[in-house]
Amino acid sequence: MAKQILLNAFNMNCIGHINHGLWTHPRDTSTEYKTLRYWTDLARLLERGLFDGLFIADIVGTYDVYGKSLDVPLREAIQVPVNDPLLLVSAMAGATRHLGFGLTANLTYEAPYLFARRLSTLDHLSDGRIGWNIVTGYLDSAARAMGLAQQPEHDRRYDQADEYLQVLYKLLEGSWDQDAVVNDRQRRVYAEPGKVHKVRHQGEFYTVEGYHLCEPSPQRTPVLFQAGSSARGLAFAGNHAECVFISGQDKPATRAQVDKVRAAARAAGRDPHALKVFMGITVVVAATEQQAQAKHAEYLRYASAEAGVAHFAASTGIDFAAYELDEPIGANQGNAIQSATRQLQENPWTRRRLLEQHALGGRYVTLVGAPEQVAEQLIAWIDETGLDGFNLTRTVTPESYEDFIDLVIPQLQQRGRYKTAYCEGTLREKLFASDHPYLPADHPGAGYRTTHTPAPTGALHHA
């Protein structure tokens, strides 16, 4: 049976996310991001399209590398202003029944004890539809804002992340037995004291002694997303991630990235095909190819290539504004996103080439065409690279999602490559066709589950 495509909408609680400048388009509504209606309408729209999830990116800090100032990011709303992503979920979960929510949170600046409570709370309120995109940060501006001289070194951030996950697993998986809550009014016992356990953790980065504040949520641990592609990031993904987000530019390179992700999982003793790998992609579609090309040309008139390059500058830590248009850009070994820096090391980039690459305001692969053309291209990416799905960026909001849902989804369904209805269950059960909502047995987090917890069954979380 052909692999069915998984699909997240890729978004952020701000005006400009990936394809910059399009907030100026007369049909774009992204400046309404501060309203609940903007997000609940989006959630209902995505559920109509049977999207697996809404993947909400986030950033702590500002993009002050380009021109060594915040002028371009402020003028073009390059992920500033940006609001908290987690606070959106309660409203959107209440407006939907199946849509999942992948939430980005930077563990460098989040205390694990309180963050565990926020995750459990959202998992309860959404009936188990929460995922966490694990990030360690890469902006010195964030470190300075949080009282540090600079951010920790790249690999040390992952060392800290490994320990952070240990603490979370102890809290989410091991503190409460699954049957600790009895809710017995006659006996006046809500939770059995002997089935709630104190977590004691003494490590290099964290010291925690206390009980998890929440009773077990439907998934206990949310679905774990991660996006690191450095050697250290891949090792972390192999140990912890259930879904991995990559950025590909061509199919052979993307295939190589997918293979590396699966090899990292195998090296960690996990099923390499249990990981779901998503690639960011942009789609401009219309009823005919000619109309799609005209729409793309229209979008280009509103997009900001300079804003896209300013965003990329922060990813690499290189001030591209300091270079002449055709001056070769030398890559440095910095402390930012190593995959972004690697692109500069492997190619003879100039600022002119970067501006051309960011013509639509971002650098993701962009598919332009009629519905059947886009569907066939998406299928080809899946079949030729080993990907499991896509994070679909927005261009003009909400038009780009509406077009995809109305025009591309039916084509994928006709080809048997996209679901025609949601399955029941939690986000983990939906994504992995699992018979239980918890971390699988070969995941390291499952080893922290209290021995008092019964073996998972498909019906347990519904009891």
Tokens of 143: 């470190």
116 contacts: CB under 8 Å, gap ≥ 6: 167, 168, 171, 172, 212, 213, 214
State residue 330's pLDDT score: 74
CB 101 within 8 A of CB 39: no
Instruction: Tell me the per-residue pLDDT of 396-451, one tens digit each, with 9 for 90 and over.
Output: 999 999 999 999 999 999 999 999 999 999 999 999 999 999 999 999 999 998 75
Worst-scoring range by mean pLDDT, 41-45, 327-331, 459-463? 459-463
Distance CA(415)–CA(5), nearest Å, equals: 11
Reply yes or no on whether the pLDDT at 93 is more than 90. Answer: yes
Whole-number pLDDT of residue 21: 98
- pLDDT (0 to 100) of residue 138: 84
Identify the band that residue 228 occupies on the pLDDT scale cut at 50, 70 and 90: confident
Taking residues 283-301, report their average pLDDT: 98
| Predicted model pTM | 0.93
- Mean pLDDT, to the nearest integer, of 55-71? 95
pLDDT at position 192, please? 98
With 0-12 / 13-18 / 19 or more C-beta atoms within 10 angstroms meaning exposed / middle / buried, residue 91 is middle
pLDDT-based confidence at residue 454 (cuts at 50, 70, 90): very low
Question: What is the reported pLDDT for 1?
Answer: 78
- pLDDT tens-place string over residues 25-34: 999 999 999 9
Return the higher-pLDDT residue of 121 and 341: 121
Token pair recorded at residue 44:
């209902």
Out of 4-8, 71-75, 423-427, 450-454, least confident range: 450-454
Q: Hey, which of 39-43, 147-151, 269-273, 322-326 has the most confident mean pLDDT?
A: 39-43
At 127-136, the pLDDT tens digits run 999 999 999 9
Using alpha carbons, select from 447, 439, 428 the residue that is nearest to residue 174.
Answer: 447
pLDDT band at 461 (very low <50, low <70, confident <90, very high): very low
- Token digits for 276? 């779901």
Q: How far apart are CA 395 and CA 28, in angstroms?
A: 8
pLDDT in tens, 166-177: 999 999 999 999
Cβ neighbour number for residue 50 with a 10 Å cutoff = 18
The mean pLDDT of 221-247, rounded to a whole number, is 94
What pLDDT shows up at residue 229? 81
Q: What count of other Cβ atoms lies within 10 Å of the Cβ of residue 194?
A: 9
Q: How far apart are CA 324 and CA 328, in angstroms?
A: 8
- Residue range 365-378: average pLDDT? 98
Residue 460 confidence (pLDDT): 32
The CA distances from residue 360 to 7, 347, 452, in Å, are 22, 21, 54
Question: End-to-end alpha-carbon separation of the chain, Å?
Answer: 33
Report the 3 state secondary structure along the chain.
Answer: CCCCCEEEEEEECECECCCCCHHHCCCCCHHHCCCHHHHHHHHHHHHHCCCCEEEEECCCCCCCCHHHCCHHHHHHCECCCECCCHHHHHHHHHHCCCCEEEEEEEHHHCCHHHHHHHHHHHHHHCCCCEEEEEECCCCHHHHHHCCCCCCCCHHHHHHHHHHHHHHHHHHHHHCECCCCEEEECCCCEEECHHHECCEEEECCCCEEEECCCCCCCCCCCCEEEECCCCHHHHHHHHHHCCEEEECCCCHHHHHHHHHHHHHHHHHCCCCHHHCEEEEEEEEEECCCHHHHHHHHHHHHHHCCHHHHHHHHHHHHCCCHHHCCCCCECCCCCCCCCHHHHHHHHHCCCEHHHHHHHCCCCCCCEEEEECHHHHHHHHHHHHHHHCCCEEEECCCCCCHHHHHHHHHHHHHHHHCCCCCCCCCCCCHHHHHHCCCCCCCCCCCHHHHHCCCCCCCCCCCHHHC
The domains found in the chain, sorted by start residue, are 6-182+190-301+365-444 (3.20.20.30)
**Which of 261, 176, 190 has the alpha carbon at shortest distance from 221?**
176
For residue 341, is pLDDT > 80? no
Share of the chain above pLDDT 70, in %: 94
Q: What is the pLDDT of residue 274?
A: 86
Q: What is the pLDDT of residue 450?
A: 75
How far apart are the C-alpha atoms of 346 and 331, rounded to whole Å? 9
For the segment 320-348, the average pLDDT, to the nearest whole number, is: 69
With bands split at pLDDT 50, 70 and 90, how would you rate the model's confidence at 151? confident
- Which structure tokens are listed for 151? 């951010």
8 Å CB contact between 102 and 132:
yes
By C-alpha distance, which of 227, 253, 237 is closest to 386?
253
Round the average pLDDT of the chain to a whole number and report it. 93
Q: Which residue has the higher pLDDT, 461 or 10?
A: 10
